[in-house]
């Protein structure tokens, strides 16, 4: 059987594209996912069902059946590979992530448009953000109230003591309080938005796919790995897949890669679409030279300040991440490029250290990394070098963020609660050089990899897709996931990925 649309990857974007395209009963849609599917909610494992807590950390632990367990290099100073978790189940990373529902800043999308990506300004994207959300707390022209994805915020009366302390420290330092983090004018401290209900994460498998599984024109095939795109000259005609020990080709009228910022460039290169020299070195015939594939790898470098609290400090695991502070680094021409997020350590990474944390994130890094194939074998993971903090401006801003965080923790607001600041140590903070060395040893990913198949105008030689997300050099092939971002947005990337998926579905419908 030949399908009208083959969607590769049942993650955040793939679930949305499949649901939207199958609204038209005349279109046959095939959704392929390498991980498992749980059509009945009662069969959904707890580690994919529950929100923040140790159960969630099981899902994204290295070696979990629901995690691709990629690794990358953060800096040369770190000997151990850096874990790069990506979801491997229907719902993709929305099935294992932190459920942070925060859009990019308006400036992000306006910058995309200014780079030649017409139709991608904030005002162009806003209707799609509104279309997908159902915000329980904010009802105005900037929010949706009837979309598939429920959104909630932790109100102040629910904040545990350490979240209130962070609020007091930030406002005492002069940062304003803007409750709605997704308002276009939001700055300072805001309530973190989440897509969960009563402790159940609302993945895209639950919000988009579960209501439409009955459609006869929608076929969902889990446990199917796509090895490569089948090209007929410069036309994508199908995909080669592995399932149940067999390998075969599935034909499609149009292929939409939604495999994510790691697997989408990997699949392009395995199919002969990418940097020609790299492909030839691995014996992969070059179908179309696309030098930008795997380049422009963006993320949010992040480091964690750790502290122990005094005995008897009350905690509420349901609101351990209620707040975040968005601010502009000193001397920065890019507003809101920094975020501080207070959290309990054990809601962020699996660690026997009982310390609490404030995560210091650089949300518009100047530096960029690279992703490349290590083998022509589709089962071999790609290599990733994030090249964090090589740019002096990135290092300067993250250093400032740690010192700002320390000023909060050493102030009056935290005095009743903190027993000891564990990291960085006084020696690490003694000089800028010492702190820089600590940062290089401890910087890590915020799990927001993007940009590896960037969107760009015709005169951008590194652009992989055009403004309608069609892959250059071939026909009948699009990409819709975080890999197409020209630069990472100044926020968690999941909601922007949802918006991208909503948009590409409309592009496909309009293009016939």
Catalytic residue IDs: 448
Report the alpha-carbon distance of residue 256 to residue 168 in Å, rounded.
47
Closest to 75 measured CA to CA, from 423, 368, 432, 441 = 441
What is the SS3 assignment for 13? helix
Cβ neighbours around 85 below 10 Å, total: 22
Residue 138 structure tokens: 């904010």
Report the alpha-carbon distance of residue 298 to residue 448 in Å, rounded.
8
Cβ neighbours around 138 below 10 Å, total: 18
CA-derived radius of gyration, the chain: 22
User: In residues, how long is the chain?
Assistant: 512
Report the alpha-carbon distance of residue 352 to residue 72 in Å, rounded.
23
Kindly tell me the sign of the dihedral angle through the C-alpha atoms of 402, 407, 413, 414: positive
Rounded-to-5 percentages of helix, strand, coil across the chain: 30, 25, 45
Report the alpha-carbon distance of residue 58 to residue 54 in Å, rounded.
7
Cβ neighbourhood burial of 152 (10 Å; 0-12, 13-18, 19+): buried
Cβ neighbours around 404 below 10 Å, total: 22
Non-local (6+) Cβ contacts of 181 within 8 A are 102, 153, 190, 191, 192, 193, 324, 326
């Amino acid at each position: 059987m030949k399908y009208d649309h083959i969607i590769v990857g049942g993650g955040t974007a793939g679930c949305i594209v499949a649901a939207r395209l199958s609204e038209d009963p005349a279109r046959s849609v095939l959704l392929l996912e390498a991980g498992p599917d749980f059509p009945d909610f009662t069969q959904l494992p707890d580690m994919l069902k529950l929100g923040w807590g140790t159960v969630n950390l099981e899902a994204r632990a290295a070696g979990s059946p629901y995690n691709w367990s990629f690794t990358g290099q953060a800096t040369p100073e770190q000997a151990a590979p850096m874990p790069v978790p990506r979801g491997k189940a229907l719902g993709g990373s929305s099935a294992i992530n932190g459920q942070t529902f925060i859009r990019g800043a308006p400036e992000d999308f306006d910058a995309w448009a200014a780079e030649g990506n017409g139709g991608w300004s904030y005002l162009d994207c806003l209707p799609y953000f509104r279309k997908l959300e159902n915000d329980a707390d904010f009802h105005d022209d900037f929010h949706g109230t009837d979309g598939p994805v429920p959104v909630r915020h932790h109100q102040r009366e629910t904040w545990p003591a350490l979240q209130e302390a962070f609020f007091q420290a930030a406002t005492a330092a002069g940062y304003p309080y803007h409750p709605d983090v997704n308002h276009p004018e939001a700055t300072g401290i805001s309530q973190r938005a989440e897509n969960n209900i009563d402790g159940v994460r609302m993945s895209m498998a639950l919000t988009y796919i579960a209501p439409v599984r009955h459609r006869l024109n929608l076929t969902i095939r889990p446990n199917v790995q796509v090895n490569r795109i089948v090209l007929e000259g410069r036309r994508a005609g199908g995909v080669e897949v592995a399932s149940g020990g067999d390998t075969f080709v599935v034909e499609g009228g149009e292929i939409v890669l939604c495999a994510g910022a790691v697997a989408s460039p990997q699949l392009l290169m395995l199919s002969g679409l990418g940097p020609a020299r790299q492909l030839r070195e691995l014996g992969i015939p070059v179908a179309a030279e696309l030098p930008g594939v795997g380049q422009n790898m963006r993320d949010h470098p992040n480091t964690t300040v750790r502290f122990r609290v005094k005995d008897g400090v009350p905690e509420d695991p349901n609101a351990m991440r209620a707040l975040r502070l968005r601010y502009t680094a000193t001397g920065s021409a890019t507003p809101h490029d920094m975020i501080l997020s207070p959290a309990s350590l054990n809601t962020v990474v699996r660690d026997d250290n009982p310390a609490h944390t404030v995560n210091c994130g650089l949300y518009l890094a100047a530096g960029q990394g690279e992703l490349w194939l290590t083998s022509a074998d589709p089962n071999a993971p790609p290599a990733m070098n994030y090249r964090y903090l090589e740019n002096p401006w990135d290092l300067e801003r993250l250093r400032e963020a740690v010192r700002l965080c320390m000023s909060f923790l050493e102030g009056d607001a935290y005095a009743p609660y903190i027993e000891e600041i564990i990291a960085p140590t006084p020696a690490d903070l003694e000089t800028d050089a010492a702190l820089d060395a600590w940062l290089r040893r401890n910087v890590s990913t915020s799990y927001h990899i993007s940009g590896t198949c960037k969107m760009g105008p015709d005169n951008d030689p590194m652009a992989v897709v055009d403004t309608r997300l069609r892959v250059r050099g071939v026909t009948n092939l699009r990409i819709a996931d975080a890999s197409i971002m020209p630069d990472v947005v100044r926020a968690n990337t999941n909601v922007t990925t949802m918006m991208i998926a909503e948009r590409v579905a409309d592009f496909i419908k309009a293009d016939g």
